[in-house]
């Protein structure tokens, strides 16, 4: 009889949900598991479309109540499954639903890929680590926190279904495209502080900045040549046709050190060279001058990007090496056996 797995995520489209669980569903089913997925309903990013402020606030609060009600029903069904997978949390702050899940089915895997323990959620994340049957943090920085509360743990990096990514375009026919891809929540903390640096670089070498995100941003810099591409999940596998170089700047703080380098891994899967800040796991993923460059200062950013912009052959070599590394170390095919082993171990 097939083992049954229930997965809880914050939505059906956020990166953690898609890369930590949803993309695995067909592979798990092929391996003989019966899999059900329960995102929050409404999803965690939902906002009321109503215009009057008072009605919008009431509508939003009603949506949150409905979300917790639906999650409560999900938790009540959790006892019917052999394993439950929890990404980040169940329905926001607090542990009421998490403790109910523990009573209904203690055979749950707790997964997180950001430093969600920084700030007011520390105690809740600690409780989940302590009480989960197994914990799967996304990198060593996150594991160091989990390790304070459990020894039942396996680091599972964010992984890419590399078989679905298209090879890079053979010729662009225009300016070299330096691309940043990410959410409209992260753009202000990561890309915006580097816009002036990129504008200055454009006075030295010809390139186009491409920004791929949810909604068109208003970038606070004059004189920068850039283009917006609306984010679509189906386009992620086509990054190699949309960009020539991928960048992932980060600020070295307690939260961003917990990032799992998803952008870099997507660039690598698409056969693109990556230029990134050596913050957190970025420093492990990028092999300097082999798959991309790790840079801190404005001068280092300028030098790395200018070198790649001017040398198409170098971009191709680093991009190919990056893809090979992604397939070998950060792909679904590499990590699926480990995940299957964990789920089998946790199952009743």
pLDDT digits (tens, 9 = 90+) for 90-149: 999 999 999 999 999 999 999 999 999 999 999 999 999 999 999 999 999 999 999 999
Structure confidence at residue 102 (pLDDT): 98
Q: What digits encode the pLDDT tens for the residues 293-317? A: 999 999 999 999 999 999 999 999 9
Q: Is CATH 3.90.1150.10 what the domain over 162-329 is classified as, yes or no?
A: no
Place of tokens 């202000």: 188
Q: What digits encode the pLDDT tens for the residues 65-83? A: 999 999 999 999 999 999 9
Q: What is the mean pLDDT of residues 201-211?
A: 97
Dihedral sign for Cα atoms in the order 82, 87, 88, 91: negative
Domain 4-159+332-346: CATH superfamily, name plus number: Glycogen Phosphorylase B; (3.40.50.2000)
On whether the CB atoms of residues 181 and 213 are closer than 8 A, the answer is yes
What is the C-alpha R_g of the chain?
A: 21
In this structure, what are the phi and psi dihedrals at residue 298, rounded to the nearest 5 degrees?
-60, -40
Tell me what percent of the residues of the chain surpass a pLDDT of 70: 99
Is the peptide bond prior to 88 cis by the omega test (within 30 degrees of 0)?
no
Sequence ranges of the chain with CATH classification 3.40.50.2000: 4-159+332-346, 162-329
Q: What digits encode the pLDDT tens for the residues 163-187? A: 999 988 777 778 999 999 998 889 9
Tell me what percent of the residues of the chain surpass a pLDDT of 90: 94
Structure confidence at residue 326 (pLDDT): 98
Tokens found for residue 331: 């792909």
- Which of 108, 136, 74 is closest to 5 using CA atoms? 108
Is the pLDDT reported for residue 204 higher than 80?
Answer: yes
Secondary structure, 3-state, 8-24 = EECCCCCHHHHHHCHHH
Structure confidence at residue 274 (pLDDT): 98
Q: What is the mean pLDDT of residues 327-345?
A: 98
| CA gap 66, 72 in Å, rounded | 10
């Amino acid at each position: 009889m097939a083992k049954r797995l229930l997965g809880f995520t914050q939505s059906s489209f956020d990166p953690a949900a898609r890369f930590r669980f949803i993309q695995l569903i067909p592979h798990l089913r092929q391996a003989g598991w019966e899999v059900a997925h329960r995102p929050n309903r409404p999803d965690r990013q939902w906002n009321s479309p109503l215009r009057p402020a008072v009605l919008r606030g009431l509508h939003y609060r009603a949506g949150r109540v409905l979300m917790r009600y639906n999650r409560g029903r999900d938790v009540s069904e959790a006892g019917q499954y052999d394993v439950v997978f929890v990404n980040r949390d169940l329905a926001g702050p607090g542990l009421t639903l998490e403790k109910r899940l523990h009573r209904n089915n203690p055979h749950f895997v707790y997964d997180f890929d950001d430093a969600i323990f920084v700030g007011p959620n520390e105690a809740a994340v600690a409780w989940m680590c302590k009480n989960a049957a197994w914990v799967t943090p996304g990198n060593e920085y996150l594991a160091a926190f989990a390790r304070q509360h459990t020894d039942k743990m396996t680091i599972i990096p964010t992984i890419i279904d590399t078989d679905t990514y298209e090879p890079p375009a053979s010729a662009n026919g225009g300016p070299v495209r330096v691309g940043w891809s990410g959410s409209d929540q992260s753009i202000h903390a990561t890309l915006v502080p580097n816009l002036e640096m990129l504008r200055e670089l454009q006075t030295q070498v010809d390139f186009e900045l491409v920004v791929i995100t949810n909604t068109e941003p208003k970038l606070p810099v004059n004189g920068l040549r850039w283009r917006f591409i609306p984010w679509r999940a189906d386009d992620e596998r086509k990054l190699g046709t949309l960009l020539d170089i991928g960048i992932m700047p980060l600020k070295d703080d307690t939260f961003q050190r917990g990032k799992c380098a998803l952008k870099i891994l997507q660039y690598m899967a698409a056969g693109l060279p990556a230029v990134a800040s050596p913050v957190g796991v970025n420093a492990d993923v990028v092999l300097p001058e082999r798959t991309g460059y790790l840079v801190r200062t404005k001068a280092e950013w300028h030098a790395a990007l200018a070198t790649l912009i001017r040398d198409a052959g170098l971009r191709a070599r680093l991009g190919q090496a990056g893809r090979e590394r992604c397939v070998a170390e950060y792909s679904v095919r590499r990590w699926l056996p480990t995940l299957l082993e964990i789920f089998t171990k946790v199952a009743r």
